[in-house]
Chains A and B, each alone.
Chain A
């Protein structure tokens, strides 16, 4: 068995029994990266040389029986919008191509305390804006299952890295589905925790009321291990919350709702079939399953594409050529800023900044942003009402399997539609997970999404693990090991 195919708990067991050394696994994942990077371009930077010493320190801890962490010596890739001190954080943007972070994100501090080994920084859609990793200023990432197809986005590099086993797990960020959609396209587990449970300090902000860091992994248990390591209230993120988890049943006393609006037009038969397959399994195990209607979900894309660009236009105002990042000269400070932002941002980022600027501008605020906020509140209320009747909500993660590279680049709205199923969880702050369940007729992965009420992340993971064990999806992209 190739160690890079194993789960974190299995690897830790081999480390503890001294049947495998962290440095051996570390070399193995870089061997896998050497086999796959030219074809996939999952990473923007790889850290092999710098971290060999840290891998041998892990070796020593296990050899002396001194290791206390499940993540000790586990090679993890980090999306390149999360700061690691003294390394570049580019956000796949020309704007930050020379930016070196002077500090660690809170999630990085926490993983360092666990003696995790970082493998590198992964490619993304510029500033996490996109659904295919085609908006990177530094080149496309390809899907490890079939390189004609996109890996999803915006955390496409993180998903491709775990898919090709050039890391054991990865961190991504999810503003409208950017963890769950690429995980689904690459046959992996992607988990967006409850908003606020994981600190956003050190994550380059896109839309602050929606952004959340989370794991992309091979198994639900791997996501659980990483979530428990990176979560917790943080005074440096005013929106972070105390991670007081609610306990809801995950066994067959739980009630499951299938969201009607996400099983209608616009969703492929293949995606619906995966949900139906899981529903049949759950029914056979004695779970009560019922159809649930949340009509406001149909407006998710409209609400999201006002709120996210509005927040993005404010957050990205910081890129002004003064304190960090690119500078393009001009005769005055204003000219310099306009030239810098013209040169530094790619087309999708400009599109969203302009859309957000318009939605927030005098005379249009109430009509657009204000209305979107009220509709968002309506969605939060509708979910809260729904969770009085059901414990978990199930839907496809994505309307279709992965699409081909270039297929949607000329039509922004069509690209936005690929986030239809994932956006509601961000708008309502809910925990949501994508679990791989099968393959399409094109031999590409499909997944289902499960959501639950805020702060029931651990129960959601327990329930998802039951689905994972019952479905027994063991597909893996071929040709990279």
Chain B
């Protein structure tokens, strides 16, 4: 496995603004951790199954009926918003 990564690029993908200092320390930490997880590349797997499963007990995930159920009220749903107006979330512009 390769451990080449660009910390600025990963931080951009993760939408986290990192200081220069954080970039250095996190780069260092991630290198150490990735070196450890590289042990996986030596693993000879018996399992031929390539299918990606989601549930550890392999429960089949079923779609629910499309029906209205009791849920949060509009006011409850918006009650923790940092900024709202007329029952809607307010955000800064998406384009300058």
A residues adjacent to B (C-beta < 8 A): 98-100, 102-103, 194-196, 209-210, 235, 238-239, 241, 296, 299, 301-303, 305-306, 313, 317, 320-327, 329-339, 341-342, 345, 347, 350-351, 353-355, 357-358, 361, 367-368, 370-378, 380-381, 412-413, 416, 427-429, 454-455
Contacts and interface: CB of A to CB of B under 8 A. Distances in A.
B45 interface: yes
Nearest to B65: A235
Given A355-B34, A368-B1, 5 more contacts: A239-B59, A303-B40, A374-B45, A376-B56, A428-B56
A372 B54 CA distance: 13
B43 A375 contact: yes
Contact of B61 (A103, A238, A320): A238
B4 to A, nearest CB: 10
B14 interface: yes
B92 A239 contact: no
B11 to A, nearest CB: 7
Contacts of A321: 82
Interface of B: 1-2, 5, 7, 10-11, 13-19, 22, 25-26, 29-30, 32-34, 36-41, 43, 45-47, 49-50, 52-57, 59, 61-62, 64, 72, 76-83, 89, 91-96
A306 B7 contact: no
B16 A350 contact: yes
A251 to B, nearest CB: 27
A355 B30 contact: yes
Contacts of A99: 80
B93 A241 contact: no
A370 B37 CA distance: 13
Contacts of A374: 45, 47, 49-50
Contacts of A210: 56
A302 B37 contact: yes
Contact of A375 (B7, B25, B36, B45): B45
Contacts of B34: 355, 358
B22 A327 contact: no
11 contacts: A194-B57, A209-B54, A313-B14, A320-B15, A322-B81, A326-B82, A330-B92, A333-B93, A367-B2, A367-B41, A374-B45
Nearest to B27: A354
A345 B18 CA distance: 11
Contacts of A320: 15
Contact of A306 (B40, B79, B92, B96): B40
A428 B55 CA distance: 10
A480 to B, nearest CB: 35
Nearest to A324: B80
